[in-house]
Structure 1
Amino acid sequence: PAVVAIGETGLDYHYDYSPRSAQRQAFEAQLRLAADHRRPIVIHGRDADADLAAVLGEWGRAVPALVLHSFSSGTAVFEAGMEVGAYFSFSGMITFRSWAHGDHVAACPAERLLLETDAPYLTPVPFRGRRNEPANVRYVAARAAELRGETPDAVAHQTTINTVRCFGPRLRSPNHSETNA
């Protein structure tokens, strides 16, 4: 089967499981792979805003699409992502009372907005504390719509278009060949 995208990859400084320099080296190798093979890349960033913003600035235009997965970073990463035309994918975290980045959901251009569940984690309200599943993306869409002043149907429609635009024709047919991609 053809590869649709590279990732999830990125920088996670929350846990001290591997040296930051090793994480950055592995991340840049995967960015190079995405650039060389013209594939989107799905990026994880946690407690690494300064380094992630720098990497986006260095590599952001080298790959066909960047997806900032389960986006919860601060303004520096949001602005760096905006500068390079990244997609911002929001998860069940946006339904949490403690979530502090509603302005990023509202400010994200419609054509750069994606939604996800990050199942089995980050279960949205009203099911928080239980195992998450893909069907719960409707709660993420409802909250995104509320934060954006739009309808859930409008958000669902736009994010479906964005998903196909980001990941391309590989999503349209499971029986394609690499030469048709």
Structure 2
Amino acid sequence: MLIDTHSHIYSEDFTQDRDEALQRAYDSGVKKIVLPNIDSGSIRHMLDLSDAYPHFCYPLMGLHPTSVDEDYEEELLAVEYWLEKRKFYGIGEIGIDLYWERKFKNEQINAFRHQLKLAKSKNLPVVIHVRNSFDETYKVVKEEQDGSLRGIFHCFTGSKKEAKKVVELGMFLGVGGVLTFKNSNLSDVLKKVDIKNLVLETDSPYLSPEPKRGKRNESAYLTYVAQKVADIYGLPLDEVAEITTANARKIFEI
């Protein structure tokens, strides 16, 4: 059994075959899928899917950094509203993204810190997005880590030094399709990380693993990531599934 700890399978990319994609995931051994939110525009689609598949799809609530602009405080009010209205399994997807632009850097930092505090107050895990922003993201998390923060640095592609810092914060590394890319050095990084600090993810519909690179990603392809992890650690696939599933269950309490 595998758990996809990060999938946007509720997105428009799956409008034509969402149910079929979920069936393919289930048939491939992926028995649970965690759904991080993006912003107020994605909530309804995500919740509709979670309600249709309550023992398969598990929603998170949060504001993605690329959706942060001058009106971010209104978006955060929507996050807080929904957190009071129903059950969520974590706060995400949150973080700092300085890849596309730095115009709203301060707003992103403020929104990120606010949501980390929300997570602590609600005793919920966080799913953290980091892109061209490791130092900034790490600084905020370290400042907010009082022993109660738990969660995942999603789509981790950093260095050995950065991996060590994440683990020392008490966080897990989310690894996905990038691990299988021929030009990725993530395999070397993970050799220095205990597998007990990993969870698996697809980030579908993005970042499809080899041999599906260039195509739409889906949760069924998590098996390619799991196999690559098994190869790196020299472990049977079943053992990789057992360890990473236990980690995901522990984080999200599912």
TM range (shorter): 0.7 to 0.9
Paired residue for 1:109, among 179, 185, 194?
194
For residue 129 of structure 1, what is the aligned residue in structure 2? 214
Tell whether the 8 Å contact from 2:209 to 2:221 is kept in structure 1 after alignment. Answer: yes
**1:67 equivalent in structure 2:** 152
| 1:35-50 map, 5 Å | 35-50=120-135
For 1:105, give the aligned amino acid.
L
Q: Percent identity?
A: 33
Q: What is the alpha-carbon root mean square deviation over aligned residues?
A: 1.5
Which residue does 1:80 correspond to in 2? 165
Q: 1:18 to 1:4 in 2, by over 3 A?
A: farther
| 2:252 is equivalent to residue 167 of structure 1 | yes
Question: Which residue, out of 59, 70, 88, partners 1:3?
Answer: 88
Q: Does structure 2 conserve the Cα–Cα contact (< 8 Å) formed by 1:117 and 1:134?
A: yes
Given candidates 137, 157, 175, the residue that maps to 1:52 is 137
Amino acid at match of 1:48: S
The superposition leaves residues 124-173 of structure 1 with CA deviations (integer Å, 9 ceiling, x where unpaired) of: 001111111101000000111111222222111111111111111xx2xx
TM-score when normalising by structure 2: 0.63
The amino acid of 2:136's aligned partner reads D
Deviates more, 1:43-52 or 1:61-70: 61-70
Write the distance in 2 (CA, Å) between the matches of 1:118 and 1:163: 15
What letter corresponds to residue 123 of structure 1 in structure 2?
A: S
Checking the alignment, whether the CA contact within 8 Å between 2:90 and 2:127 is kept in structure 1 is yes
Structure 1 pair 62–19 and aligned structure 2 pair: CA distance change class (3 A): farther
Alpha-carbon distance in structure 1 between the residues aligned to 2:203 and 2:228: 16
1:63 is displaced (CA, Å) by: 3.7
- In the superposition, the TM-score normalised over structure 1's length comes to 0.87
- Secondary structure of the residue aligned to 1:126 is coil
Gapped regions of structure 2 (runs ≥ 5): 1-85
1:33-64: CA deviation from partner (whole Å, max 9, x where unpaired): 00111100000001112112212321234544
Contact 2:160 2:192 (C-alpha < 8 Å) held by counterparts: no
Matching residue's letter, 1:112: N
- Paired residues, number: 169
Cα distance in 1 for residues equivalent to 2:102 and 2:205: 22
Alignment correspondent of 1:93:
178
Which stretch of structure 1 is more off in the superposition, 149-158 or 84-93?
A: 149-158
Distance 1:26 1:111, change over 3 A: same
- Structure 1: stretches of 5+ with no match in the other structure: 172-181
